Structure 1
Amino acid sequence: MMRIVVKVGSAVLAENDSIALERMQALVDFLAKLRKNNEVVLVSSGAVAAGYTKIQLDRSILTNKQALASIGQPILMHTYAEKFSQHSIIISQVLLTAANLSKAQEISKIKNTVDTLLKNSVLPIINENDATTTDELEVGDNDQLSAYITKHIEADILIILSDIDAYYDKDPRKNSDAKILKVVNYIDKKDLDKNVTPHGTFATGGIVTKLKAASYLLQNDIDTFLATGFDLSDIKSYLLDKNHIGGTLFTKTKS
């Protein structure tokens, strides 16, 4: 049995200023299958997007973004709870700030909580506490958060589901001949230093934050798999069928 952290981004969960319910349902159905033979932890974005469905505040203003997260977090969790209940799965909410990840004692508390939830067949859903974070307490983005969580709860692999379907040898938006790198053993520092270019309205990352997450885990001998969250066939093939068709595996293991 593997311990798997699955991170899903706002670009997947939000569409036209609302929650993408069909994509969320597909994700929930997939995670329900994955849980049959694995321990699963979900790191989910989407609170700000969910809040925006109720009140349209300017997201570029920090206090507005925090207010939207505060409004949206219970909406997001309620929606997850309804969908997971179809599979008789109990969920829990774990909200964190950087302060929770900066001290060994705090990290130990997080792991103990997650261990207890998993032992009792509860699916933990983790998110950064955007409603109260400040610059000093901000993790940065959920790609980084998911990487830290993967290491600290001693998970076997991080799955990043995004609007980015894989890591390419060049930017596929600008180069029609760009090729998918199916297995990556090393990430060059120059690629980690590029500017962050989020795609969606509510996104905070882009490929750079995913590379940083994967690089952090490579340094800790933990694998990362990047795949699209719009069509789950690639991640289903990899995790359920053990067949790597699409997506990128970041691993130190040489193929």
Structure 2
Amino acid sequence: MATVALPDWTRAVVKVGSALVAPDDRGCSTTHLLPIARFVIQSRRQGKEVILVSSGAVAAGLAEQGRGGPGTLSIPERQALAALGQPLLMAHWRRLFDVPCAQVLLTYDDLQRRARFVNAKNTIAELLDRDTLPIVNENDTVATEELRVGDNDNLAAYVAVLAEADLLVICSDVDGLYTADPHDTPDAERLPAVDAITDEIYDMVGPSHRKVATGGMQTKVEAAEKATDRGIDTVLVNGTKGGHLDALGRGEMPGTLFRQAEQPLPARKHWMLHALPSAGRLTVDAGAADALRHEGASLLPSGIVAVEGRFARGDAVEIAVEKGGNWTRVAKGITQYGAADLERIQGRQSHAIAEVLDEAPADYVVHRDDLVVEA
């Protein structure tokens, strides 16, 4: 197997999951955290910057109450346990470092609203300037199901993007990405490097990558896709093996490296694609799809053949083309018209918008600067 070196980096986000923080469901443990802390300390001594994304608040809360594994928890239960466990989690991490540690709690709302996204970015930048170790977690104490990222793999990718990191390290309990589940397929091979995250890569971890994340390897690949799209190299490493963390500190690659995209998305378009939720779908004809894909065109009302969903001006919508009953996503963008108005002007020429609507803010539906076209 070819040797893969860890790319040079100056700022990294290191994600640590609950299985590493509380491996026996009895509260926070240093069993796996000492090598991770050693990697962070050594990296900082080399003049590099590190941000931790740590799970474990709910597990710490359960342990504080003398209860076992989380099982199925309601949202109020999870919120209460997170409120109980979060200070315990922070205190646990703080004991492992001799530098100031700062708690940063985020919700999906902080990521999908551009102003709050920028505020979070500025806060983390200021903490790093103050030689402080930011420790990030999802704010489960207030997050509802609709406003949850849902897993800290994807949260870590969002943090890597807003912090402008050049490396994302996902510490897991497996040695990397395999061609099949190594528990079920003994001859499965570990992939030392992945140049592009394709449908074939997703097929290795399950068929539902376009649906709600279900955890496990699927969310790690999703997180890698978010990070690499923005030009951030991503490493999947076994955090239960201290030697693997030590190797990472020496610039070696004991896990799987997901290489950054050759043409990373600009910051705003990355935010639009990965952080903004889609509120509806516009189906376009083949001519409009081709113009969006190959000519850098804006979406005009004349190319729209169907409108789905309830959305308002300024919402994000998916743009798809239909063939034989199947839809292929062409792009995602921010619409200048709500669904009700679009149903009235779809298929019409731009100059006719004013004849139909009392207010016509633009002669296009989605401007090319507000579009992210699928590769």
Question: TM-score if structure 2 supplies the norm length?
Answer: 0.61
Aligned runs of 1:53-202 on 2, under 5 Å?
Answer: 53-55=63-65, 56=67, 59-84=72-97, 88-189=98-199, 190-191=202-203, 194=207
The CA deviation at 1:218 is: 2.1
Structure possessing the higher relative contact order (Cα contacts under 8 Å, 6 or more residues apart): 1
The CA deviation at 1:35 is: 1.2
**Unaligned stretches of 5+ residues in structure 1:** 197-203
The CA deviation at 1:106 is: 1.1
Alignment of 1:5 with 2:13, yes or no, is: yes
Residues 118-157 of structure 1: CA distance to partner in whole angstroms, max 9, x if unpaired? 1111000000001111022111210010001101111001
Which of 36, 39, 46 is the equivalent residue of 1:30? 39
Alignment of 1:211 with 2:245, yes or no, is: no
Letter of the 2:157 partner, please give it. Answer: A
The CA deviation at 1:23 is: 1.8
The aligned counterpart of 2:4 is: none
Letter of the 1:110 partner, please give it. Answer: A
- The alignment of Structure 1 onto Structure 2 pairs a total of residues equal to 242
SS at match of 1:136: helix
The CA deviation at 1:171 is: 1.0
Residues 13-69 of structure 1: CA distance to partner in whole angstroms, max 9, x if unpaired? 112222222322332222111111210000000101111111227543222121111
Q: Retained in 2: the 8 A contact 1:7–1:143? A: yes
Taking a change above 3 Å as real, the CA distance of residues 235 and 26 of structure 1, as seen in their structure-2 partners, is closer
Q: Retained in 1: the 8 A contact 2:15–2:169? A: yes
SS at match of 2:183: coil
Residues 160-213 of structure 1: CA distance to partner in whole angstroms, max 9, x if unpaired? 0011220001110111111110000122334375359xxxxxxx7200000000
Q: Retained in 2: the 8 A contact 1:17–1:49? A: yes
Q: Retained in 1: the 8 A contact 2:56–2:89? A: yes
SS at match of 1:226: strand
Letter of the 1:23 partner, please give it. Answer: H
* Distance (whole Å) between structure 2 residues aligned to residue 229 and residue 140 of structure 1: 21
* Distance (whole Å) between structure 1 residues aligned to residue 12 and residue 45 of structure 2: 12
The aligned counterpart of 2:353 is: none
* Distance (whole Å) between structure 1 residues aligned to residue 138 and residue 261 of structure 2: 31
**Unaligned stretches of 5+ residues in structure 2:** 1-8, 263-375
CA RMSD for the aligned pairs?
A: 1.9
SS at match of 2:185: coil
SS at match of 2:105: strand
Q: Retained in 2: the 8 A contact 1:166–1:180? A: yes
Q: Retained in 1: the 8 A contact 2:58–2:78? A: yes
* Distance (whole Å) between structure 1 residues aligned to residue 64 and residue 208 of structure 2: 32
Taking a change above 3 Å as real, the CA distance of residues 22 and 252 of structure 1, as seen in their structure-2 partners, is closer
* Distance (whole Å) between structure 2 residues aligned to residue 164 and residue 63 of structure 1: 32
- Structure 1, 62-71 or 49-58: larger mean CA deviation: 49-58
